[in-house]
Amino acid sequence: MQKFLTLICLVALLTACSKENQTNRVDSRIDSLINVMTLEEKVGQLSLYTSDWDVTGPTMRQGYKEDIKKGRVGAIFNAFTAKYTRELQEMAVKETRLHIPLIFGYDVIHGHRTIFPIPLGAAASWDMEAIEKSDRIAAEEASAEGLHWAFSPMLDIARDPRWGRIAEGAGEDTYLGSRIAEARVRGLQGKGVGELNSVMACVKHFAAYGAAQAGRDYHTVDMSDRMFREVYLPPYAAAIKAGAATVMSSFNEFDGVPASGSKYLMTDLLRGELKFNGFVVSDYTSIMEMIPHGVVADTASAAALALEAGVDMDMQAGFYEEALGKLVKKGTINEQLINTSVRRILKKKFELGLFDDPYRYSDVEREKNTVMKLEFLEAARDVARKSIVLLKNGQLPRQEKLLLPLSKEVKQLAVIGPLADARKEMIGSWSAAGDWKKSVTLLEGIKAAVSPKTNVLFARGCNISDDSTTYFAEAVRVADKADVVVLALGEGAWMTGEAASRASLALPGVQQKLVEEIAKTGKPIVVVLMNGRPLTINWIAGHIPAILETWFLGTQAGNAIADVLFGDFNPSGKLPVTFPRSVGQIPIFYNMKNTGRPMDRNNKYTSKYLDEENEPLYPFGFGLSYTTFEYGAIKLLKEHITTQDELTVLCKVTNTGTRAGEEVVQLYVRDLIGSVTRPVKELKKFQKITLQPGESREVSFTLSIQDLAFYRSNMSFGTEPGDFHVFIGGNSRDTKAAKFVLD
C-alpha cells in the first residue's frame, strides 16, 4: 500500500511539474515572440474584426482580409466553416512576417448548427446536465467548423422582461444563474482549452448589462455596489471560477463609467478579486461608444482609457489600431501595457495549439462527420422537452379528465395561430449558424405524432405582429370543425435578443383578438406560447384551460412540443423568471425586500397599487406536471447552528398522481434580521428528482454557512447570528416553512 501511495504522489508531482514546465515553455516562447514583434505587429494582435458572413452589430469592416494580410488583426469573428477559416488562417500565417495565427470567434449562444432552446428556455429545465450537454454539442460543432471561441455564456441577470436580451440569459435568479454559468463553461471548454472539440468560453456582458434602466437596451445601469455584488456579480464570478478563458466588457455604464473604460470592473474586480487570468475583449464598438457616453472626446482618449482599464482586445471599433501606436510614440501610454495585453492573447493562441498547427480546427472531413449528427438532434429534442413549462392544465366543463395530455387518436385536431407553422421563428434569436430551414414546426411535430386516423387542420389566423384580421374567419371555421384546438401564439424570434426591447408585454398584433374569437367557438383550446420573454397573458390565463410555455425551442421545436402535448414526455420545466400581470409591476421578482410597510389590502398605507395586484401572474420557479406532488413538513436535523456547522434540511416529496414525473424541489432561505435589509426569500439549493406514481422520497439538502453569508452593513461578506426561515416547495410561492437559529 505504501509503495502504491508513493507512486501516486510521484505521478501527481511529475504531472504538476510537467504542467509547470509546459507553462514555462509557453511563456518563454511568448517572450521570444514579443521581443521580435514591432509595435505595429503588437497592436495588430489587439484588434478583432467581423467578417461579412454574419451581421451582429451596427458596423461592418470592409477590407478585413487586407487587415489579416497586413497583420492588423489578431482575431476574426462571424467567420466559420472549416474551409473558410482555413482560407483566412492561411492569409495570416503565410502572408504576415511573423506568421501569427488568428483566433476565430462567433456567437454560439444556444448551439452552432444544431440549435437548442434559447438560454432562457434552457434555464427553465433547471437541468444542469442537459444544459452542459447542449454546450458540449455546440462546442463539438463549432470547433469542427474552425471556431476557437464562443462569445458565450451570456450571464446577465435580468429582472426586467421589457429588455429583449432576457431571452439570452438564465433569468432573474443569482443562484440558478450561477449554476448555469458553471454548466455552460464546462460544456464549452470541456476537458480544457486546446482540446480539439472545445472552444474558449467568453463571460458576458461584464457587467450588470441586464439592469438597463426601463428595460431599454444599452441604457444606463446604476446600482449600489451591494446590489451588484449580491445579485448581478455571482454568475460572472462562478463562470470565472469554472475556468472561463475570456470575458467581454458590456456596453452599459456602471457607476458612471462605461464598462469598457472601468478599471474598477476590468482590473480591480476582475483580475484583483476574481483572479481572472485570461483576456478581455470589448463588446461591438463599445470602446468607440465611450465618446457618445461622454467620458472621452476622441479616438486616442477612448483607446487609452480602455487599455488602461484592462480591455485587451478592441472588437470592431478599430480604435486600438488607429491610436495605440501613436500613443506609445508620444509617450502617453507605456508599451508595457500593450505587451501585457499581447501576452494574454498570445497565451490563448498557444493554449489552442495554433502555433503548432494553425489549421488543426479547420478540418473539412471532421466537419462533415460532426455537424447535425442524429445524436445531436436527439439531444436537442430532449433539452427542448425539458425546457417546456406547463403553466395551466384545467378540466373541461362536465369532464373529469384534464385537457392535457391530448389523445393521439383525436379525430379532428386544429392547429391555429401565427406560430403554428412558423419555421423561421423556431430557432429564436442569436441562432448563430443554425439553419432555420431545418427546424421542425409545431404543425409538423403534431402531424408526426398523431394517429393516421387523425385529421389535422391548419389555419394561421393572423400574422405575428401586424393588425390584419383577414384570416380570422378561416381560423374560426377551422376551429369549428375540430374536436380540440392547439393555438400557437407569441412573439417573432426577432422581438427578443439584442436591440429588441418592448414597452409592452402583451401578445403582439391582433393575437389577443384571435384567441378571443377562437374561444367563442367553445372548443377545448391549448395555448402553446412561443416567446423570448415573459408576456402578460392574463386573459388567456383566466379563460383558456391549458397553457404551455415553450420559448423558442430550436431545431427540434415541433417534435419536442408534440412529445409534451400528447404525453410522451411529462413536462417538468419551472419558470426562471417571474411573469408579471402588467408592465406597471416591473421590476418584479420573487426575492424582493419586505419594506417597512409590507402590502396589506386592508391598510391603505402599505406598499401596493390602487389598480393592480402585487403578486405576479406566475411566480419564479413555477411549473406544473401531468402528475401531482405533495410536500411534507420540513425536518431540520438541528434548530440551532453555529458558524462551524452545516444544516441538514429534509423534506418528503410524494408523487400523488397517476404517472411518473420530475419535480424541481426548491429550497429558499430568509434571514429575518440583518445589519442591512434582506430579501424575503433567496433560492439557495434545488434538486430535480423523478418519482413514480405513489413514490415518496425524503429529499435532503445541506446548507453551509456560506449559503447564509451576505454583504453586511460594512460591506464585509459573512453571516450574522439570528433567526432564519427555510422554505421548500415546487416554486417560490407555494412552500413549506421551518425555522432555525444561527447562534
Cross-strand partners of 595: none
Report the SS3 class of residue 738: strand
Pick the catalytic residue from 283, 312, 363, 421: 283
Report the SS3 class of residue 150: strand
Query: Is 284 an interacting residue with respect to ligand GLC (CB under 6 A)?
Result: yes
Has 283 been annotated as catalytic?
A: yes
Query: Is 107 an interacting residue with respect to ligand GLC (CB under 6 A)?
Result: yes
> What's the min distance (Å) between Cβ of 61 and ligand GLC?
12
Query: Is 283 an interacting residue with respect to ligand GLC (CB under 6 A)?
Result: yes
Residue number with CB closer to ligand GLC (367 or 498): 498
Query: Is 350 an interacting residue with respect to ligand GLC (CB under 6 A)?
Result: no
Contacts for 519 with CB less than 8 Å, ≥ 6 apart: 525, 543, 544
| 428 φ/ψ sector (left φ>0, alpha ψ -120 to 50, else beta) | left
Query: Is 614 an interacting residue with respect to ligand GLC (CB under 6 A)?
Result: no
Site string for ligand GLC, 153-192 (x = CB under 6 A): ----------------------------------------
> What's the min distance (Å) between Cβ of 266 and ligand GLC?
16
Query: SS3 sequence, 157-223?
Result: CCCCCCCHHHHHCCCCCHHHHHHHHHHHHHHHHCCCECECCCCECEEEEECCHHHCHHHCCCCCECC
Contacts for 448 with CB less than 8 Å, ≥ 6 apart: 440, 558, 559, 562
E strands, 523-578, are 525-530, 546-549
Query: Is 253 an interacting residue with respect to ligand GLC (CB under 6 A)?
Result: no
Q: How many C-beta atoms lie closer than 10 Å to residue 734's C-beta?
A: 12
> What's the min distance (Å) between Cβ of 201 and ligand GLC?
12
Residue number with CB closer to ligand GLC (56 or 197): 56
Residue number with CB closer to ligand GLC (77 or 279): 77
Residue number with CB closer to ligand GLC (284 or 552): 284
CA angle (657 as vertex; 654, 662 as ends), nearest 5: 65
> What's the min distance (Å) between Cβ of 162 and ligand GLC?
17
C-alpha cell read off for 729:
416547495
> What's the min distance (Å) between Cβ of 120 and ligand GLC?
15
> What's the min distance (Å) between Cβ of 306 and ligand GLC?
16
- Beta-sheet strand order (sheet of 47-50): 149-150, 103-106, 75-77, 47-50, 314-315
**Taking CB under 6 A as the criterion, which residues in 625-644 touch ligand GLC?**
none
Long-range contacts of 298-301 (CB under 8 A, 24+ apart): 299/323, 300/326, 300/327, 300/332
> What's the min distance (Å) between Cβ of 497 and ligand GLC?
9
CA-based diameter of the chain, in Å?
84
Residue number with CB closer to ligand GLC (57 or 722): 57
Cross-strand partners of 194: none
> What's the min distance (Å) between Cβ of 48 and ligand GLC?
9
Alpha helices, H only, 546-672: 557-565
> What's the min distance (Å) between Cβ of 491 and ligand GLC?
20
> What's the min distance (Å) between Cβ of 601 and ligand GLC?
43
- The span from the CA of 522 to the CA of 514, in Å, is 14
Of 528, 533, 532, nearest to 563 by C-alpha is: 528
> What's the min distance (Å) between Cβ of 284 and ligand GLC?
4
- The span from the CA of 162 to the CA of 587, in Å, is 10
Residue number with CB closer to ligand GLC (204 or 344): 204
Residue number with CB closer to ligand GLC (56 or 339): 56
Size of interface with ligand GLC, in residues (CB under 6 A): 9
Residue number with CB closer to ligand GLC (314 or 682): 314
Residue number with CB closer to ligand GLC (177 or 558): 177
- The span from the CA of 337 to the CA of 556, in Å, is 48
Q: Nearest residue to ligand GLC, using CB?
A: 56
Query: Is 49 an interacting residue with respect to ligand GLC (CB under 6 A)?
Result: no
Of 312, 311, 287, nearest to 299 by C-alpha is: 287
Contacts for 672 with CB less than 8 Å, ≥ 6 apart: 678, 722, 723, 724, 725
Cross-strand partners of 735: 729
Residue number with CB closer to ligand GLC (127 or 498): 498
Site string for ligand GLC, 185-224 (x = CB under 6 A): -------------------x--------------------
Of 60, 500, 52, nearest to 285 by C-alpha is: 60
Query: Is 56 an interacting residue with respect to ligand GLC (CB under 6 A)?
Result: yes
C-alpha cell read off for 443:
404543425
CA angle (475 as vertex; 470, 481 as ends), nearest 5: 150
The amino acid occupying position 471 is Y
- The span from the CA of 547 to the CA of 506, in Å, is 16
Contacts for 179 with CB less than 8 Å, ≥ 6 apart: 128, 238
> What's the min distance (Å) between Cβ of 431 and ligand GLC?
13
Q: How many C-beta atoms lie closer than 10 Å to residue 214's C-beta?
A: 12
- The span from the CA of 557 to the CA of 118, in Å, is 11
- The span from the CA of 694 to the CA of 655, in Å, is 5
Residue number with CB closer to ligand GLC (56 or 220): 56
- The span from the CA of 655 to the CA of 662, in Å, is 9
In the list 53, 57, 87, 689, the residue contacting ligand GLC (rule: CB under 6 A) is 57
State the DSSP code for 406. Answer: P
Query: Is 151 an interacting residue with respect to ligand GLC (CB under 6 A)?
Result: yes
Cross-strand partners of 529: 489, 549
State the DSSP code for 399. Answer: -
Residue number with CB closer to ligand GLC (13 or 499): 499
> Exposure of 738 by Cβ count < 10 A (0-12 exposed, 13-18 middle, 19+ buried)?
middle
The amino acid occupying position 630 is E
**Taking CB under 6 A as the criterion, which residues in 69-98 touch ligand GLC?**
77
In the list 132, 289, 444, 498, the residue contacting ligand GLC (rule: CB under 6 A) is 498
> What's the min distance (Å) between Cβ of 107 and ligand GLC?
5
Query: Is 59 an interacting residue with respect to ligand GLC (CB under 6 A)?
Result: no
Residue number with CB closer to ligand GLC (77 or 163): 77
- Are 535 and 515 spatial neighbours (Cβ–Cβ below 8 Å)? no
Footprint of ligand GLC on this chain (CB under 6 A)? 56-57, 77, 107, 151, 204, 283-284, 498
Catalytic positions, written as ranges: 283
